[in-house]
Structure 1
Amino acid sequence: MHKNRQTRYALVTGGGSGLGRAFSLHLASQGWYVAVTDLKLSAAKETLNLLTRQGGQGHAEKLDVTDSLAWQDLRDKLQTQWPQLHLLINNAGICSAGKVGVAPFEDSLKVLDTNLRGVLCGCHTMVPWLKETAPGGHVLNIASLFGIISAPTMTAYCASKAAVVAFSESLHGELAPHQIGVTVAVPGFFPTNLIQHGHFDEAPYREIASEYMARTNLTAEEVVRQTLKAIEKKQLYVALGKKTRWYWRFKRFFPTSVTRLAAYRYRRQMLKHSTND
């Protein structure tokens, strides 16, 4: 996305770190005014400090994405300060891994609440405002490779991200007559703090995820670059990373084989870690 004379306005959830911070910094560098939101206000302010140092504009807000009233309060506040909203980025999310019936049920509920309810709350609150901006408004929802590939022990995370993909597909058709775009990003592994803040019932789960992140060449900055390019082209889907694109295509034609492959790779990784222990 390129600089122009007209200021554009973006709201980013989970902007205090990782991918949300990368989106905030990049948009600000391109002349966007960015509302950086995060459950931790201190993290959002840290991102704000970084983007203002590079000459960007924005402000930081605390936001629990699962709280519909907090969303409404934020919208009301922004509408007194902004002439319009151009881009909503539903990025906030958490991950978990653990066996069904063994891992705490509350962990699964928290993942579903944050990853899916957060997107629903954001869209239900902000889409009416985007319609006032139309044409040209856009919604970006961040899903995951695990919204396409269902890995063992990641039931809640996979379910939440698959739901984000399906929700985005439905919303895309709904908003098309209003000339509002919808893009769902499906990134594979890339270095982020998602693992550090995730809920893992057993140590090997965290170690395996960390190993995959360490082996990837994909970065948050590259995810941002490719995703914003997809938004410019009004693409519904953007699959990020070579393996993600391969899995995406292979799953369409051989869904059972891909599911079996994911299960096999999981068992192999668990065996490797049990042997090392």
Structure 2
Amino acid sequence: MTAFELRDLAGTTAVVTGAASGIGAAIARLAAELGMRVVLADFDVDRLDEVARGIAATGAEALAVRCDVTDPDDVERLAATAYEAFGPVRLLVNNAGIEGTGRLWELSPDTFGRVMDVNVSGVFHGIRTFVPRMLAAGTAAHIVNTASIGAVTTVPAQATYCASKHAALALTECLAIELAAERAPISVAALLPGPVHTAIYETAEADGAAGTAARERMETYLRENGVTPQDAAQTMFDGLAAGDFWIFTHPERADELLRNRAERLTGHLTPG
């Protein structure tokens, strides 16, 4: 991807899903600080409105849109509203994501289905809805899909989350290849956060004793070791400006995990 200056984003429009809290809210706030008009989308209307009001109070243009990313009609309404209000979208961040913990045989179909719907279908609906509009505009644009360090590794009692993020990363890689083949002026990046202090585990469904233990363990770990959502958002924008496809919040840890996974794959080793 081509590098650019972040100041070039001023006066353009960003759409961020999962913007009511955590990394999504931080990305929306930073986009506004960069001078962008921001459309915030989330299912949690009350918290979304609070974030949007906070951004608007700084003098930035912000619009909150209730959106269930698992519903293609909702995502279509989000796009129509964004384009009608602020014009062409320069930056789309498909960030909405949830967790679900538990051993595979103890997971409920509802937990598994909900995590896959939000984390995978939500990204797909965002791509399917916004990319044709971006292509029609014919101007430079950027798409960032939030995956996870879990997209390149596997963790017990977090299988549904890892599976969903592996899928989200695969969608992102395929999108980058497809747009490059079309010579489209649209860059694609994958944001792979490591531990970030958000409420993702506080709201996670936990099935079975192992699921409850994993949720509690990870909630404590993020609280004690996670970087702030603001740090993660800054890392995303820095990586985007640098023209990076792979954007890791914890690059050293990511490199270690990637080496381990590569060794297992190339060595045909049993997972462990």
TM-score, length of structure 2 as denominator length: 0.90
Task: Give the structure 2 partner of residue 21 of structure 1.
Answer: 25
2:195 & 2:73 partners in 1: Cα distance? Answer: 33
Task: Give the structure 2 partner of residue 246 of structure 1.
Answer: 256
Q: Displacement, 1:101?
A: 2.1
Task: Give the structure 1 partner of residue 191 of structure 2.
Answer: 185
CA RMSD of superposed structures (Å): 1.8
Q: Match of 1:44, as an amino acid? A: L
1:98 & 1:5 partners in 2: Cα distance? Answer: 41
- 1:67-82 aligned at under 5 Å gives the runs 67-82=71-86
2:120 & 2:9 partners in 1: Cα distance? Answer: 35
2:220 & 2:9 partners in 1: Cα distance? Answer: 44
CA contact (8 A) 1:182 1:234 kept: no
Cα 1:228–1:133 shift into 2, 3 Å:
farther
Q: Match of 1:26, as an amino acid? A: L
1:106 & 1:41 partners in 2: Cα distance? Answer: 23
The SS at the match of 2:6 is coil
CA contact (8 A) 1:85 1:133 kept: no
Q: Displacement, 1:257?
A: 6.6
Task: Give the structure 2 partner of residue 206 of structure 1.
Answer: 215
CA contact (8 A) 1:251 1:258 kept: no
Cα 1:213–1:133 shift into 2, 3 Å:
same
Task: Give the structure 2 partner of residue 236 of structure 1.
Answer: 245
Q: Displacement, 1:217?
A: 4.8
Give CA deviations for 1:71-122 in whole Å, capped at 9, x if unaligned. 1122222222222111110111110111122221210011001100000001
Cα 1:97–1:132 shift into 2, 3 Å:
same
1:125 aligned to 129, 136, 146, which one?
Answer: 129
Higher relative contact order (CA 8 A, sep 6+): 2
2:104 aligned to 94, 100, 111, which one?
Answer: 100
Q: Displacement, 1:5?
A: 8.6
Q: Displacement, 1:233?
A: 2.1
1:80 & 1:162 partners in 2: Cα distance? Answer: 34
Deviates more, 1:227-236 or 1:14-23: 227-236
Aligned residues, how many?
260
The SS at the match of 1:131 is helix
The SS at the match of 1:86 is strand
2:121 & 2:107 partners in 1: Cα distance? Answer: 21
Deviates more, 1:63-72 or 1:46-55: 46-55
| Structure 2 gap ranges (5+) | none
Give CA deviations for 1:186-237 in whole Å, capped at 9, x if unaligned. 1111100101111112331111112321342522111111111111122211
Q: Match of 1:238, as an amino acid? A: I
CA contact (8 A) 2:41 2:64 kept: yes
Q: Match of 2:198, as an amino acid? A: T
